[in-house]
Structure 1
Amino acid sequence: MHRVLTRYRLAKLRWLDRPTGRVVRRMHSEHCGDLVHVDVKKLGKIPAGGGWRMLGRSVGQRHSQADKSSGKRNGYRNPVRGYHFLHTALDAHSRLAYSELLADERKDTAAGFWLRANAWFAESGITVRKVLTDNGSCYRSHAFADALGHIEHRRTRPYRPQTNGKVERFHRTLANEWAYARLYRSDAERCQEFTTWLHTYNFHRGHTALGGQPPATRVPNLSGQYT
């Protein structure tokens, strides 16, 4: 059967969209700024002493409860338990990424993030022409539309997150190589490591889709900034 499928060059499973069985059409951008993917990843905070992913559920839950009790004694409610919202803007051509850890994913937060991201891309020599997001309420808001200004806004089809796959893949890499890569003893310790990891991703870490080169190599204006 495999020989027959190969003979007729039928699509491989990894080329297909699992829900529909249709061939996935990869999105390619010829130049920096042609398309920037924007998305939010929800990231659980770490209780003092470490979380359950590294220590196991029983130990992690004890740390979480102890941290909660300590907060109540000091007049705080759930001081660490909760989430960070990781907002990311990723250039489709170069894979260069701008990302921030923010408190929520409300419309004003998303709009403010985009203004800062767009300014950063401009400083890097990238003029953004199109932005791709999902259909989240923050991206359908007037505040986000105002922040985009003249930039064209494209949205993914409902229930098709793979359309925004480049930034989804970035978030998976981020989780594996930073968020859950080692044992962090506190949430603050992990947050402090974030900017270092992001710099490494942009300027030093090889990317398989870029022939093993880091994203910055596709942005000529960034040459000489590999510090």
Structure 2
Amino acid sequence: MNSISQDTHYRLSLLSYAKRFGVSKAARKYHVNRQFIYRLRWRYDGSPESLLPLSRRPHSHPNQHTEQEASLIKRMRRRHPHDGLVVFWIKLCKHGYTRSISGLYRFLQRIHLAPAKLPNPKYVPKPYEEALYPGQKVQIDVKVVPSVCIVGQAHEEGKKFYQYTAIDECTRLRYLAAFEEQSTFSSMRFLQQLVHYFPFPIHKIQTDNGFEFTKRFGKDPENDLTLFEKQLQIYHIQYQKIRPYTPRHNGKVERSHRKDNEYFYAKHRFYSYQDFAHQLKVWNRVYNAFPMRPLHWKSPKEFLSSFSNTL
């Protein structure tokens, strides 16, 4: 039984006792004054709800908002219905409002004009066009080799190694190459190696907007092509750049990099650039022979063999 029903039950028993034995005896037994019992008898109409405790909230307060302030708030809220509390309070202060922000919040709650945040527009991704044949689209990205994997003399000399990755969207066939610098020259060299490595022609290549690939956000991107972009034109390969700051559009190569961290970089160390290049070459063969769920538990090489008649 909650507190309200307990109070109601107490007052019903008080009125019942007063009706049987009189108001004076009821006042002495229940330790209340006679006027309280008379008020209950005047309020009681036969329903327990009529005996519920009335609100003790005062009808007015000496520091309550004045009519001018209430009019200002209502007028400003009509003009700015979606402003947040802080922004709305600052705009009111510029019009002479002197109350605190907490007082404004309580007043807005009382008159049911509290700020309501509009729902964010729902993101509806565009349907992704899956690659239907090998070479239709190849994703390329660069991974910086974790510094903890570089040991020995290479670590003492402050060497940095980079893994260039290309993955075919259809067959998931990958090509990895090791480089000592991340530049447009390295990207061009990687592209030349990639064209000779893949056993099928490449029709489109997709990368992010890094300066090792493109000068899309440079001063003169149209007339100042990188070595990588010029090499693409020589090979007559279409070039597609993903939306800025949206790595999920290059999701297949990004996912393969996570696999590299879990199965390769977590348990390998490199003492020199030649050592890194050799181990990366071995890992590339292992990856291309690894069964994958998107390929119905076939490896990229096995899945590629099903297109051998069409290449």
Classify the TM-score, shorter chain.
0.5 to 0.7
Aligned counterpart in structure 2 of residue 167 of structure 1, from 230, 253, 267: 253
Task: Sort the Cα spacing of 1:84 and 1:220 in 2 relative to 1 into closer, same or farther, 3 A.
Answer: same
Higher strand share: 1
Asked if structure 1 preserves the Cα contact closer than 8 Å seen for 2:290 and 2:298, the reply is: yes
Task: Sort the Cα spacing of 1:127 and 1:190 in 2 relative to 1 into closer, same or farther, 3 A.
Answer: closer
Q: TM-score, normalised on structure 1?
A: 0.68
Structure 1 runs, 4 residues or longer, greater than 6 Å off: none
| Structure 1 residue matching 2:124: 3-state secondary structure | coil
Are 1:38 and 2:140 an aligned pair? yes
Identity %: 23
Asked if structure 2 preserves the Cα contact closer than 8 Å seen for 1:112 and 1:147, the reply is: no
Asked if structure 2 preserves the Cα contact closer than 8 Å seen for 1:216 and 1:222, the reply is: no
Asked if structure 1 preserves the Cα contact closer than 8 Å seen for 2:136 and 2:203, the reply is: yes
C-alpha RMSD over aligned residues: 2.7
- Alignment length (residue pairs): 174
Asked if structure 1 preserves the Cα contact closer than 8 Å seen for 2:168 and 2:174, the reply is: yes
Q: Which runs of 5+ in 2 are unaligned?
A: 1-121, 215-224
Correspondence 1:17-166 to 2 at 5 A: 21-23=123-125, 25-45=127-147, 46-48=149-151, 78-79=156-157, 81-121=158-198, 124=199, 126-140=200-214, 141-149=225-233, 150-166=236-252
Aligned counterpart in structure 2 of residue 209 of structure 1, from 278, 288, 294: 294
Match of 1:197 in 2: 283
Asked if structure 2 preserves the Cα contact closer than 8 Å seen for 1:37 and 1:92, the reply is: yes
Query: Cα distance, 1:191 vs. partner?
Result: 5.0
Task: Sort the Cα spacing of 1:77 and 1:101 in 2 relative to 1 into closer, same or farther, 3 A.
Answer: closer
Query: Cα distance, 1:30 vs. partner?
Result: 0.1
CA deviation string 1:97-145 (max 9, x = no partner):
0111101111111111111111111xx2x11000000011121143111
State the structure with bigger RCO (CA 8 A, min sep 6), 1 or 2.
1
The one-letter amino acid of 2:135's match is G
**Counterparts of 1:33 and 1:133, CA distance in 2:** 15
The one-letter amino acid of 2:290's match is R
Q: Which runs of 5+ in 1 are unaligned?
A: 1-19, 49-66
Asked if structure 2 preserves the Cα contact closer than 8 Å seen for 1:44 and 1:82, the reply is: no
Match of 1:8 in 2: none
Task: Sort the Cα spacing of 1:43 and 1:213 in 2 relative to 1 into closer, same or farther, 3 A.
Answer: same
